[in-house]
Amino acid sequence: MAELKEEELIKIRRHLHQIPELALHEVETHAYLMKVIQAMNQEHLEVKEFEELPTALMVLIHGSQPERTIGYRTDIDALPVEEKTGLPYKSTHPGVMHACGHDIHMTVALGVLSYFSEHQPKDNLLFFFQPAEESEAGGKRAYELGLFKGQWKPDEFYGLHDNPELPAGAIGCRMGTLFAGTTEVNIDIEGKGGHAAFPQDANDAVVAAANLIVQVQTIVSRSIDPIDSGVITLGKITAGTIRNVIAGHARIEGTIRGLTQDMILLIDKRLQEVCNGIEASFGVKVTLGLNQGGYWPVENNPKLTKRFIQYMSDAKNVNFIETKPAMTGEDFGYLLAKFPGTMFWLGVEDDSQLHSATLTPKESSIKRGIDAITGFLEYRMNAKEE
C-alpha cells in the first residue's frame, strides 16, 4: 500500500468519527486501527498489543541508523456526549461522540505512520495509540503496567491536541506548561442533624460547608504567587433533605488546576489545612479526598521544545502560533513527567469548543498537520546534538 493520500485520510477520520467509544472500551476503534496499519508497508514495522491493556496499541518503525527512539502518542477514546452536528457521518453510538477531536488525533498519527512506513526513518519511531485519555488515566496505566520497556521505551515523546480556536492546520506551542494538571476534590462534612427550631441540639453541616467554601477562595488569592496560576472551583454541593431539618451531612465536589505539579501540591496542602481548621472550628468531621490520577501538568521539556518551536517557526509551509497555557487537562502530562518531550496544538478552526456536541473540526487540518509533523521528525532525526 502506498502512503495514505488526503482523500483516504478523510475517509479514515470519518469512519473513526462514526465509532466513538469510551475509555477502556475502544474495541471497535482498536480493530479498525489495526486494519489500517496492517494495510501499510510492513517491511520495517513491528506491531504490539497488550493483554494487560487490551485496547492499547504500539507500532515500532525500525530506523535505518537508529540513535534514539522517538515516541509519538495519540489518544483514541471519546466522550459521553450526544452528537448534534447533523453530519452524514455522525456518531453511530448513541450518547458517545468524538467531541474532543481524538478522531483527528488518530488520523494524523496514521498519516505520519503511513509516511514513514514508505520512507524508512533514520531513528526508531514508536507510535502509541493510547486508550482512556478522557478518564481512567490511560497514560499512567500504560506506564505503571510496564508497557514502555526495551525497544518499546521512547527516549523522547511528542503528541498533539486539536484546537478549534487556531486556524486550520496551524501549529501552536509554547515553552513551559501547555496544559494544566487537574485534581478532583471531594469533601464530606459530618455534623449532626436535627430540628430547625432547635439548632443547639444539632451541628449544622451546611453552615460548616458554607464557611469552608468561603475560606477556600483565599487559597489562590493569598497563598499563590500572583504571577503563577492556579484555580480551585467547587462546582457542586449537596446537603439536607427538607427546609425545616438541619442537615447532618454535606458533600462538596470540585476541581483543582495548576500549571506545575509543585503548584498543585501546594494547593492540595492548603486545602487540607482549611479542612482541618473547619473541623476544629465547627466540631464536625471533614474528610478530604483528592484524586489526580495521571492528569499532571503538561510541562514541555525546555531543550526539545525549543528545537520544536524553532523548526515550526522557520518552516515555510507551517503557520506557527505561540500560544498561552490552557487550564484544561490532558493525561499526556504524566508521560512527560517520565519521558522528555513536547505537546503542541493543531488548529482545526471551528466555532464550537472542545467537548461540545457541535464540534466540527476542519478536515483540511489533517494533511497540514501530517506534513508539519513529518517535516519536524525528519529534521529532529538529522539535527546535531548541542
Q: What is the 3-state secondary structure (H, E, C) of 208-230?
A: HHHHHHHHHHHHHHHHCCCCCCE
Best CA proximity match to 71, nearest among 132, 143, 148: 148
The answer to whether the CB of 187 falls within 8 A of the CB of 287 is yes
Q: How many angstroms separate the CA atoms of 165 and 167, rounded? A: 7
Best CA proximity match to 138, nearest among 331, 348, 361, 343: 331
Q: Is 314 a catalytic residue?
A: no
Longest Cα–Cα distance of the chain, Å, equals 81
How buried is 2 (Cβ within 10 angstroms: 0-12 exposed, 13-18 middle, 19+ buried)? exposed
The 3-state secondary structure of 332-344, one letter per residue: HHHHHHHCCEEEE
DSSP H/E element including 146: none
Q: What pLDDT, on the 0 to 100 scale, is given for residue 383?
A: 83
Phi then psi for residue 255, to 5 deg, are -145, 145
* Helix intervals (H) in the chain: 6-18, 27-38, 102-118, 138-144, 205-223, 261-282, 302-314, 332-338, 364-382
CATH superfamily of 6-179+297-382: Zn peptidases (3.40.630.10)
Which CA distances in Å does 5 have to 12, 75, 291?
A: 11, 22, 43
Catalytic residue among 133, 134, 162, 350: 134
Q: What pLDDT, on the 0 to 100 scale, is given for residue 132?
A: 98
Q: What pLDDT, on the 0 to 100 scale, is given for residue 130?
A: 98
User: Do the first three CATH levels of 6-179+297-382 and 181-291 match, i.e. the same topology?
Assistant: no
Best CA proximity match to 359, nearest among 28, 32, 87, 172: 87
Q: How many angstroms separate the CA atoms of 321 and 323, rounded? A: 6
The answer to whether the CB of 127 falls within 8 A of the CB of 48 is no
* Sequence-separated (6 or more) residues with CB below 8 Å from residue 31: none
The answer to whether the CB of 89 falls within 8 A of the CB of 17 is yes
Q: What pLDDT, on the 0 to 100 scale, is given for residue 114?
A: 98
Q: What pLDDT, on the 0 to 100 scale, is given for residue 386?
A: 62
User: 253 in helix, strand or coil?
Assistant: strand
Nine-digit cell string for 345:
496544538
Domain locations in the chain as residue ranges: 6-179+297-382, 181-291
The answer to whether the CB of 58 falls within 8 A of the CB of 33 is no
| DSSP bridge partners of 79 | 97
Phi then psi for residue 54, to 5 deg, are -60, -30
Q: What pLDDT, on the 0 to 100 scale, is given for residue 1?
A: 64
User: What architecture is domain 181-291?
Assistant: 2-Layer Sandwich (3.30)
Nine-digit cell string for 81:
456526549
Q: Is 134 a catalytic residue?
A: yes
Q: How many angstroms separate the CA atoms of 375 and 380, rounded? A: 9
Beta-sheet pairing, 69-75 with 249-258: unpaired
Give the total residue count for the chain: 386
Q: How many angstroms separate the CA atoms of 41 and 6, rounded? A: 18
Each residue's pLDDT, cut to its tens digit, for the chain (386 residues) gives 689 999 999 999 999 999 999 999 999 999 999 999 999 999 999 999 999 999 999 999 999 999 999 999 999 999 999 999 999 999 999 999 999 999 999 999 999 999 999 999 999 999 999 999 999 999 999 999 999 999 999 999 999 999 999 999 999 999 999 999 999 999 999 999 999 999 999 999 999 999 999 999 999 999 999 888 899 999 999 999 999 999 999 999 999 999 999 999 999 999 999 999 999 999 999 999 999 999 999 999 999 999 999 999 999 999 999 999 999 899 999 999 999 999 999 999 999 999 999 999 999 999 999 999 999 999 999 987 76
CA 347, 351, 354 angle in degrees (round to 5)? Answer: 65
Q: How many angstroms separate the CA atoms of 36 and 154, rounded? A: 23
Catalytic residue among 21, 26, 75, 162: 75
| DSSP bridge partners of 239 | 250
Q: How many angstroms separate the CA atoms of 277 and 184, rounded? A: 21
